[in-house]
């Protein structure tokens, strides 16, 4: 939220530990466990630092264990392949010697090609004049984002409903890799709750991310308003799938997101 004292870029200032190994700490926000988007975004940053300036075009991450905000994170990058146009990196994020996330990222040199997208949905109000959600302190995200919700939260006040507008509340510079990492960070906001089947009980015994994917279609900027919209696709066997998009104010599609969540019903 905009009142957070933590600078948005500090989270991605990774400390080199050796060849293709890095370390990062977590911002002090009082969360009981690490926000998954933070670990994915920092893992992508570690991959970007070994990719020679090639921009990422996709990432696929598996969440293995919950992370603790009180322990530093180690990132080990494997250079799977460097081709003429593409590079592939495999990142293992660990705490206490145990992996908590595995991420594969692919990088692509810019090329000329067709520029087309499906027509964006119409009728969504712009960010100006919309309300900013009030989230419980322990659920607020650690870096500075301005958020404007299109639909007000329900009676519980949380989770924050999709769609919503979001942008960085302070300058983040022009590094395209940093913007991509911040997209990876914010792409995990509110997705688990959006994977629930419509009309299903809100109270669940378990609601956590299993795996997460992002495709970067066009160079993003997080210091301008982006519309993040996520919808459920299917629920079965205590798992739910959601798909989403990130668009600019003029409807340009910057990124697509897919996430599978573990949604175990609460006991009656």
Instruction: State the catalytic residues.
Output: 188, 209, 259
If phi > 0 it is left, if psi is from -120 to 50 it is alpha, else beta; for residue 179 that is: alpha
| Alpha-carbon gap, residue 40 to 133, rounded angstroms | 24
**Residue 200 — φ and ψ, nearest 5°?**
-75, 160
Cβ of 116: how many Cβ atoms within 10 Å?
6
Crossing angle for the helix pair 36-48 and 176-186, to the nearest 10 degrees: 160
Which backbone phi and psi does 39 adopt, to 5 degrees?
A: -65, -40
CA distance 109 to 124: 34
Q: Are 164 and 190 contacting, i.e. CB atoms less than 8 angstroms apart?
A: yes
The tokens for 76 are 């080990």
Structural tokens at position 94: 């660990």
Q: What's the token pair of residue 77?
A: 């990058």
Strand order in the sheet with 204-216: 15-18, 21-24, 73-82, 86-95, 98-108, 56-63, 204-216, 253-265, 239-248, 226-236, 164-168, 145-149
């Amino acid at each position: 939220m905009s009142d957070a004292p933590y600078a948005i870029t500090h989270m991605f200032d990774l400390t080199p530990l050796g060849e293709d190994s890095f370390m990062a700490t977590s911002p002090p926000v009082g969360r009981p466990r690490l926000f998954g988007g933070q670990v994915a975004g920092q893992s992508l940053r570690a991959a970007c630092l070994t990719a020679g300036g090639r921009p990422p075009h996709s990432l696929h991450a598996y969440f293995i264990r919950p992370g603790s905000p009180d322990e530093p994170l180690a990132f080990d990058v494997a250079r799977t392949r460097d081709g003429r146009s593409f590079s592939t990196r495999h990142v293992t994020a660990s705490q206490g010697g145990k992996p908590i996330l595995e991420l594969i990222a692919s990088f692509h040199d810019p090329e000329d090609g067709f520029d087309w997208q499906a027509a964006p949905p119409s009728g969504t109000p712009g960010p100006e004049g919309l309300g900013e959600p009030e989230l419980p302190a322990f659920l607020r995200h650690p870096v500075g984002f301005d958020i404007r919700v299109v639909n007000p939260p329900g009676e519980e006040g949380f989770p924050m409903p999709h769609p919503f507008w979001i942008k960085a509340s302070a300058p983040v510079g022009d590094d395209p890799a940093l913007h991509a990492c911040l997209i990876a960070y914010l792409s995990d906001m509110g997705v688990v709750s959006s994977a629930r089947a419509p009309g299903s009980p809100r109270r669940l015994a378990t609601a956590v991310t299993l795996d997460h994917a992002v495709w970067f279609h066009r160079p993003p900027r997080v210091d301008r308003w982006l519309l993040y919209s996520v919808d459920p696709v299917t629920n079965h066997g205590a798992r739910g799938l959601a798909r989403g998009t990130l668009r600019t104010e003029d409807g340009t599609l910057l990124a697509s997101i897919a996430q599978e969540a573990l949604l175990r019903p609460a006991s009656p």
